Amino acid sequence: MLTRVGWLDGWILILFSVYQALRAMVDSDPPLICKEIVKGFIKIYLTRCD
């Protein structure tokens, strides 16, 4: 079920994923950037399907 809290958590996860990706970019490791983005979206997908 997607409550307001669940929706907010989704956005927090998105922002956190973007932050992780940017941090990886600073470390200049492109494969890691992709991995973090994919991992973030998988997390969001799983929480929405719960």
Question: What range does the domain containing 32 cover?
Answer: 8-49
* DSSP for residue 27: T
20 or 2, which is more confident?
Answer: 20
- State the pTM of this model: 0.41
Within a domain: 2: no
The Cα–Cα gap between 33 and 14 comes to 14
Within a domain: 33: yes
Within a domain: 1: no
| Residues 36 and 24: beta-carbon distance below 8 Å | yes
Q: Is the pLDDT of residue 46 over 70?
A: yes
11 or 50, which is more confident?
Answer: 11
* DSSP for residue 28: T
| Residues 25 and 44: beta-carbon distance below 8 Å | no
Condensed to tens digits (0 to 9), the pLDDT of residues 3-39 reads 666 778 888 888 888 888 777 777 766 677 678 788 8
Within a domain: 13: yes
Domain count, the chain: 1
